Amino acid sequence: MEDSTVSDVTTPGSDRDWEDVDDVSWTLLDLEELVDTYWAVVAPVMETDGLEPKREKPTHSWLRDHGFRPLLYALREYHDRTFAEFWREDLGVEAVESGYDWATDHERTIEALESFLTSRRERKGLADSSIDTLRYRLNRYVAAYCEENGTDDLVTPVARDGDIPAYKAVDACWAAFDRLHADLDGGQTKRRIHLAVSNWYAHLVRRKWAAVNPADGLDDEFDWSNGNDDDTDTPCLATEHVRALYNAADDQEDRLLVLALCAWGLRPNEVASLRVRQFVLDVSTDEVPYITFEERKNGPGEVSLLYGKEVLEDRLAMFADHEEWDGYLFPSPHASSGPISRWTVWNRFTQLAEQAGLPDDIGGVSPSPKMGRRFWYDAYSSSLDVVLGSLDEIAAEQGSASADVVLQNYLSDSRARKLRREYMRDQLAAAFEED
């Protein structure tokens, strides 16, 4: 913390003469003194950080990062209060929450969740969009856990120093996933939530905050392989199919539609509603352009734009002089504003498939836009296989169990991404460019 000298400029201070934050004996203060000291000590630091003390409630991570963990401890252990209760009932401020709206108000649970996310951001180097997606998946579990078990405390049942039997912690976790299994359709969504939750508990075990990972092995108890995933059973377009579709697209809009489906792997509804503000094209040389999504089926996310940037830029340039353009890449021709519908995407794809001479039957199914997304997934999966294959020799030389071990433990995330992207670009170029 850069400036830890306390001040009483925000509100009249207590009669104690604190000279430094470290001088504050939080556990010796009664509630009234805690209120005074909050305004005298915490508020000035918030102002220095650009926060408004009388309007914004600091997050648990902000309090910890700025040396105020003892305040949280004093409230919890000496006054039987969460920080949220202290903020609402004792400070009496109309708050504008500056943090994430977790499905729990339990402070130690929130602290454990944010500790995991901070570790993933700082140690794993995850991008903010990936952190947002991870947070979203964790919160789905937290909400299900609270609703199913009637408590918002997820950490006490697994605590190392607790007296709750491990089987009860496992039962509570499994009950939450029983609820998620019933509420959610897609097996892939459930698998991703389970992976996030299992990694969170594993983080707590490594930090010695938890004695058990109740989610470990849970995926073996469920059949999440099929479910109702919208792409699981969809056949995949072949490279020659994609090339034929692209060649049949005789205008800019249709070419962009084929790229969005097959080169970017978007769903039909996502293609229909694409807007210019979603595209981040100005990136550093070691990064790739990407598309942002505030809301997706599995939460917020990003999609790398590995191919087709030139066609996109031509499309944006065409709209640049249209004063009334509302930013949609596929504006509706039948309305003064707004995009086309997902069904229009389906109809245009069907027309292109006919013009391209695609078979009437691909894998027992008529050609559809979802097959373009499956093509993208197949190319991505094969790119991962190529990366793993290239590591087999290294694994053998180093005595590692498998290429997966080398990938996870010795190859940086950034290097692995670069290798996958290079192969993915080659796959896409083979589909969209003439031989």
pLDDT digits (tens, 9 = 90+) for 295-354: 666 555 788 899 999 999 999 999 887 778 889 999 988 766 789 888 889 889 999 999
CATH topology of domain 107-220: DNA polymerase; domain 1 (1.10.150)
Q: Write down the domain spans for the chain.
A: 21-97, 107-220, 239-373, 374-432
What's the Cα-to-Cα distance from 234 to each of 3, 227, 309, 355, 369, rounded to whole Å?
58, 13, 27, 22, 10
- pLDDT tens sequence across 101-146: 788 888 899 999 999 999 988 888 877 777 888 888 899 999 999 9
Check pLDDT > 70 for residue 386: no
User: Are residues 330 and 200 in contact, defined by beta-carbon separation less than 8 angstroms?
Assistant: no
Please report the pLDDT score of residue 355 as a whole number: 92
Q: Name the packing angle between helices 239-248 and 342-356 (round to 10°).
A: 100
Please report the pLDDT score of residue 273 as a whole number: 92
pLDDT averaged over every residue in the chain = 81
Nearest of 228, 215, 224 to residue 175 by alpha carbon: 215
Q: State the SS3 of the chain.
A: CCCCCCCCCCCCCCCCCCCCHHHCCHHHCCHHHHHHHHHHHHHHHHHHCCCCCCCEECCHHHHHHCCCHHHHHHHHHHCCCCHHHHHHHHHCCCCEECCCCCCCCCHHHHHHHHHHHHHHHHCCCCCHHHHHHHHHHHHHHHHHHHHHHCCCCCCHHHECCCCCCHHHHHHHHHHHHHHHHHHCCCHHHHHHHHHHHHHHHHHHHHCCCECCCCCCCHHHCCCCCCCCCCCCCCCCCCHHHHHHHHHHCCCHHHHHHHHHHHHCCCCHHHHHCCEHHHEECCCCCCCCCEEEECCCCCCCEEEECCCCHHHHHHHHHHHCCCCCCCCECCECCCCCCCECCHHHHHHHHHHHHHHHCCCCCECCECCCCHHHHHHHHHHHHHHHHHHHHHHHHHHHHHCCCCHHHHHHHCCCHHHHHHHHHHHHHHHHHHHHCCC
Query: What integer is the mean pLDDT of 58-66?
Result: 76
Sheet holding 301-304, edge to edge: 279-280, 290-293, 301-304
Residue 146 corresponds to which tokens in the numbers above?
């609270």
Percentage of residues of the chain with pLDDT beyond 90: 33
Please report the pLDDT score of residue 381 as a whole number: 75
Q: Strand pairing of 290-293 and 301-304? A: antiparallel
- pLDDT tens sequence across 34-51: 888 888 888 888 888 787
Query: What integer is the mean pLDDT of 386-410?
Result: 48
- pLDDT tens sequence across 251-271: 999 999 999 999 999 999 899
The C-alpha atoms of residue 86 and residue 30 are separated, in whole angstroms, by 12
The CA-CA-CA angle for residues 59, 71, 204, to 5°, reads 60
Q: How confident is the model at residue 405 (pLDDT cuts 50, 70, 90)?
A: very low
Q: How confident is the model at residue 228 (pLDDT cuts 50, 70, 90)?
A: very low
Q: How confident is the model at residue 16 (pLDDT cuts 50, 70, 90)?
A: low
The C-alpha atoms of residue 60 and residue 316 are separated, in whole angstroms, by 42
Q: Model's pTM, two decimal places?
A: 0.48
Please report the pLDDT score of residue 8 as a whole number: 37
Pick the CATH number of 239-373 from 3.20.20.100, 3.40.50.2300, 1.20.1740.10, 1.10.443.10: 1.10.443.10
Please report the pLDDT score of residue 171 as a whole number: 95
Q: How confident is the model at residue 211 (pLDDT cuts 50, 70, 90)?
A: very high
**Residue 225 φ then ψ, to 5°:** -80, -30
The C-alpha atoms of residue 323 and residue 320 are separated, in whole angstroms, by 8
Domains 107-220 and 239-373 belong to one CATH topology: no
Cβ of 48: how many Cβ atoms within 10 Å? 13
The C-alpha atoms of residue 168 and residue 151 are separated, in whole angstroms, by 14
